[in-house]
Structure 1
Amino acid sequence: MIRPLLTEIGIFLIPFAAYALFVFASRREVLNRSSWPARIVLGLSMGACLLVILSLVLLANFSGASPDTTYTPARVENGKFIPGSDK
């Protein structure tokens, strides 16, 4: 469960990292407060939220088994574990 969460946090941070690289490339101080005006941070936050929403929609649509498969849950028969499967 932690991997999908870290993936979404990473996707959220992409616009901020790109802007930080832009600030660094333009020879300004990255950690200077004047390099991060509120309007820019708001725009980056909105873009980051859109990226996260897009990634969640794509994950929901293109991951997992196809819709016509039947899932068989894992079970224990005669003390032996039988893993679940998609058929």
Structure 2
Amino acid sequence: MLRLVLQEILLFSLPFLTFAGWLLFARRSPLDHAEWKPQWTRLVLAGLFIVVASLVMTGLTAERTADGYVPPRYENGRLVPGHFQ
């Protein structure tokens, strides 16, 4: 689960890292607040778009299995606990 969260954080930060790289390439300071201020909205929206697109693609292309969680149930008067198959 931690890997998935870190992966989404990395995907969200891609536009910010790309912009910082562009600032370095253009010989501007990536630490200057004036360079970042006009771009915050675009960078956040681009990051959100990348994260949502990755989640949609994962949902569409993920491997489906018939196995999964079997909820608890009564069988012959006894409670059979839930389990994973």
Please tell me the TM-score bracket, short chain as reference. Answer: 0.7 to 0.9
1:70 matched to 2:74? The reply is no
Q: Report the CA distance shift for 1:72/1:18 in structure 2 as closer, same or farther (over 3 A).
A: closer
> Gapped runs of 5+ residues in structure 2?
70-83
- The TM-score, its normalising length taken from structure 2, stands at 0.75
Q: Report the CA distance shift for 1:72/1:33 in structure 2 as closer, same or farther (over 3 A).
A: closer
> Gapped runs of 5+ residues in structure 1?
74-82
Q: Which runs of 4+ in 1 moved over 4 A?
A: none
- Counterparts of residues 1-87 of structure 1 (less than 5 Å): 1-37=1-37, 39-65=38-64, 69-71=65-67, 84=85
Letter in 1 for 2:53: L
CA-CA distance at 1:72 after TM superposition:
5.9
Identity of aligned residues (%): 27
Provide the aligned C-alpha RMSD in A. 1.8
Equivalences, count: 72
